Amino acid sequence: MLEVGRVTGTHGLNGVIQVYSHTRPAIGIAGYSYWWIGEERHVSRRFQVIRCWQHGKRILARLSGIDAVEDAEGLRGWRIWVPRENVPVGNDEYLWCDLIGCSVVDAERGHLGTVVRLEEYGAQDILIVRTQPDAGEQGEWMIPFTRQIVGRVDLAAKCIDVNLPPGMEACFTSRF
């Protein structure tokens, strides 16, 4: 199961929920007929998505069995999952959850650390790479996940090869 969003609130009195989507585009979450919703994956409950639509900057959804604001309120803060096999991944595309935990190796600097999370800043995704505990200088790298910088991604080996251009030291934050 992959986490694709979370329930952030309600809308109106008829059980419509507000959703924060992790998909891109955000409305891509509407492409799944069923969502598993719960505090944790192993205790989630399956809901049929009756309707999911964009309303201004928000995404709203109506789910089977959720017919009143009180029902919807009970889902607030819960996470939304879909089966991994239902998530299409094209060539040269990666799921963020698959990149977390990968070692990052630069052609000149050697082993930089391990991907601990990714962030989105509009233009591209950013790998947040934390140095190993035994590194001479502790800290985090912010590495743009672009074709110009990222060379090979080997998910089986959990390794990402990068070629950091000169000046990338500015993307390193020391931690004491």
Query: Is residue 91 assigned to a domain?
Result: no
Residue at a domain's end among 35, 67, 86: 86
Cβ–Cβ under 8 Å, residues 51 and 61: yes
Q: Residue 111: give its domain's CATH number.
A: 2.30.30.240
Domain tally, the chain: 2
Q: Residue 30: give its domain's CATH number.
A: 2.40.30.60
pLDDT at 90: 83
pLDDT at 176: 57
Residue at a domain's end among 86, 116, 141: 86
Does 8 share its domain with 75? yes
Find the domain containing 148 and state its range: 96-174
pLDDT at 63: 98
Alpha-carbon distance 7 to 76, whole Å? 5
CB count in 10 Å sphere of residue 161: 14
Per-residue pLDDT tens, the chain, 176 aa: give them. 999 999 999 998 999 999 999 888 889 999 999 999 999 989 999 999 999 999 988 999 999 999 999 999 999 999 999 999 988 888 878 888 899 999 999 989 999 999 999 988 777 889 999 998 888 889 999 999 999 999 999 999 999 999 999 988 888 888 85
CB count in 10 Å sphere of residue 81: 20
Nearest to 20 by CA among 11, 12, 29, 31: 29
Torsion of CA 18, 61, 46, 84, to 10 degrees: -90
